[in-house]
Chain A
Amino acid sequence: MWQYNKKLQFPVNIKNPNPKYAQIIISQFGGPDGELGASMRYLSQRYSMPYGEIKGLLTDIGTEELAHMEMVSAMVQQLTRKLSTDEINNSGFAPYFVDHTTGVYPQAAAGLPWRAEYIGVKGDIITDLHEDLAAEQKARTTYDNLLRLIDDPDVLEPLKFLRQREVVHYQRFGEALRLATDRLNSKNFYACNPSFDKNCGK
């Protein structure tokens, strides 16, 4: 179960609305490498993890991703407040507006709604951890791309924080992979799948 803390993990207070920024930042909510997918990926993979350390890590990082999803959504919400119809027409925000007004809907920057195909749950510890390592790097690249396109410090600060968290999660997943392979046959990590085969591993 979960409990909600009535605060953000890192403050988001954006003085100047900017619908152009909102429609690219929304990709980190519902895009292919966004926070919604990140959370669903880790929280779903937990159930086929054989080792306590990695069950714990997936639970805790999957939970932190929910807090990141909330930060990204807060940024989109604040960037689209008090818009005039002229601002909507002139910023390229009109196609989003016509479907969602200024509600926050999980989609990619190019308009594709969030899809479960963005995540993988293979039920194999080595495969799933490699997916997680790649996912953190893909999210990091997406934040780098956003940082290149944005010049408002109110928007940059939370994005830089989120980018840094991808790097930390990548580090922890690397350690998790090492913990997993340390328990497998060092001559052949793939001899059996400890997530499924009985008596697999040391």
Chain B
Amino acid sequence: MNKYALKKKIHAYDFAILEFNLYLDTHPHDTNALHKMHQLQTERKELVREYERKYGPYIVKATQVKGNRWCWVDNPWPWEYNKEEDNI
């Protein structure tokens, strides 16, 4: 999977996990949903590992130190227009 496709797939997992999060707030005893949530989290972790192995950090974190530069401050920031399709 190329960088863009893999990132898009992780985003889809993030969205599904959020949906389960809200659903579980009002259905905390739904064991099927709990199981599915756990499965999604495991699969997501694997995808992020694959992304980071191939392309570097999936999301730059404020606590991350990489080499001799504080990458957190690097452009672009998420709200900025970027026609490169891998900036999603």
Interface residues of B in 38-88 (CB under 8 A from A): 59-62, 72, 77-83, 87-88
Q: How far is A176 from B61 in the complex, measured between Cα atoms in Å? A: 34
Q: Are B88 and A53 within 8 A (Cβ)?
A: no
Given contacts A53-B26, A57-B25, A168-B19, contact A4 B79 (CB under 8 A): no
How close is B37's CB to chain A, nearest CB, in angstroms? 13
Interface size on A, residues (CB 8 A): 31
Cross-chain contact A168 with B22 (CB below 8 angstroms): yes
A6 touches B82 (CB 8 A): no
A interface secondary structure, majority: helix
Contacts of A169 in B (CB 8 A): 22
Q: Is the CB of B78 within 8 A of A57?
A: no
**Given A13, A74, A168, which contacts B83 in the complex, CB threshold below 8 Å?**
A13
| CB closest residue in chain A, given B26 | A175
Which residue of B is nearest A52, CB measured? B28
Asked if A133 is at the interface of the complex by the 8 Å CB criterion, the answer is: no
Task: Decide if B26 touches A57 in the complex (CB within 8 Å).
Answer: yes
A81 touches B81 (CB 8 A): yes
Asked whether A18 is an interface residue with its Cβ less than 8 Å from the other chain, the reply is no
Residues of chain A having any CB pair with chain B under 8 Å:
3-9, 11-15, 53-54, 56-57, 60-61, 64, 70, 73-74, 77-78, 81, 168-169, 172, 175-176, 179
Can you give 13 contacting A-B residue pairs, CB < 8 Å?
A6-B72, A6-B77, A7-B78, A7-B88, A8-B88, A13-B82, A53-B28, A60-B25, A70-B79, A168-B22, A169-B22, A172-B22, A175-B27
